């Protein structure tokens, strides 16, 4: 199932603003974890730090026994730490197949200069990833021809093609229709049950987190306010006061 991710005192400042404030966090392989909190709570900044898109001002990040604090994003991907983004991050001018193939070649340490000439390269792995998200029949379409929900699934297939041990999904249902949202929820549930990948969801959709996740981490002003089961979080008075309202 992979190795645990350990976060020790991770801090990030932007000028006088402390975006992430001495966060300690331990994510064991297996259970679906959700990170919630309103805009400005520090959720996405924390994910940027954990996946190498930002460097912390203090603290340490370990994947198993390996210190990955200063590794570049592509090096973390090769160690099994991957992510999706709030804004869909695909190559809209390439086909669905090529998008996933590029990720697979990169994960394998290959050269992308000639990937267009090497259509069969990693074809089995690409087919598997696209079948997992239900996009194999659209493999010859360009990314720009997909619906927003399909683009979300393509981004997930790109991530799966890197064979992640731990995968952060940053608002995976953002901007999709209600029907596509339901499809994405079921897809994540299925993947979590079938794959040897630990998924961590970052979401504003509280009910989605409570429905899907076994563990919920609540952030407030850059720090971890609460950490527990969905039932624990629903009953936490401080969480209800700050985030969820008395009806939560």
pTM over 0.75: yes
Question: Which residues are within 8 A (CB) of 205 and not within 5 positions of it... i.e. 6 or more apart?
Answer: 173
* Alpha helix ranges (H) inside the chain: 43-50, 73-78, 96-107, 123-133, 148-160, 178-194, 206-212, 230-235, 237-239
The per-residue pLDDT string of the chain (248 residues; one tens digit each, 9 = 90 and over) reads 678 999 999 999 999 999 999 999 999 998 999 999 888 899 999 999 999 999 999 999 999 999 999 999 989 998 999 998 877 778 889 999 999 998 888 776 655 554 554 456 678 899 999 999 999 999 999 999 999 999 999 999 999 998 999 999 999 988 888 899 899 999 999 999 998 899 999 987 888 999 999 999 999 999 999 999 999 999 999 888 876 554 44
Q: Domains of the chain (ranges plus CATH)?
A: 1-80+167-248 (3.40.50.300), 90-163 (no CATH)
CA gap 212, 192 in Å, rounded: 10
CA gap 67, 60 in Å, rounded: 7
């Amino acid at each position: 199932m992979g190795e645990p991710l350990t976060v020790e005192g991770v801090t990030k400042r932007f000028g006088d603003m402390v975006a992430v404030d001495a966060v300690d966090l331990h994510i064991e392989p297996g259970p679906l974890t959700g990170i919630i909190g309103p805009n400005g709570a520090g959720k996405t900044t924390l994910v940027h730090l954990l996946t190498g898109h930002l460097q912390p001002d203090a603290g340490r990040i370990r994947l198993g026994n390996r210190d990955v604090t200063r590794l570049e994003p592509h090096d973390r991907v090769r160690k099994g730490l991957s992510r999706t983004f709030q804004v869909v991050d695909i190559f809209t001018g390439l086909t669905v197949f090529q998008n996933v193939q590029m990720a697979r070649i990169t994960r394998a340490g290959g050269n992308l200069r000639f990937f267009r000439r090497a259509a069969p390269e990693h074809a089995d792995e690409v087919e598997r990833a696209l079948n997992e998200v239900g996009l194999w029949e659209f493999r010859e379409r360009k990314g720009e021809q997909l619906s927003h929900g399909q683009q979300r699934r393509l981004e997930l297939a790109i991530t799966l093609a890197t064979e992640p041990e731990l995968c952060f999904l940053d608002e995976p249902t953002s901007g999709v229709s209600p029907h596509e949202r339901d499809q994405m929820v079921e897809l994540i549930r299925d993947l979590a049950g079938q794959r040897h990948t630990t998924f961590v969801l970052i979401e504003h959709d509280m009910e989605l987190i409570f429905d899907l996740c076994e563990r919920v981490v609540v952030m407030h002003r850059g720090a971890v306010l609460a950490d527990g089961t969905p039932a624990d979080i629903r009953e936490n008075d401080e969480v209800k006061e700050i985030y969820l309202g008395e009806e939560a």
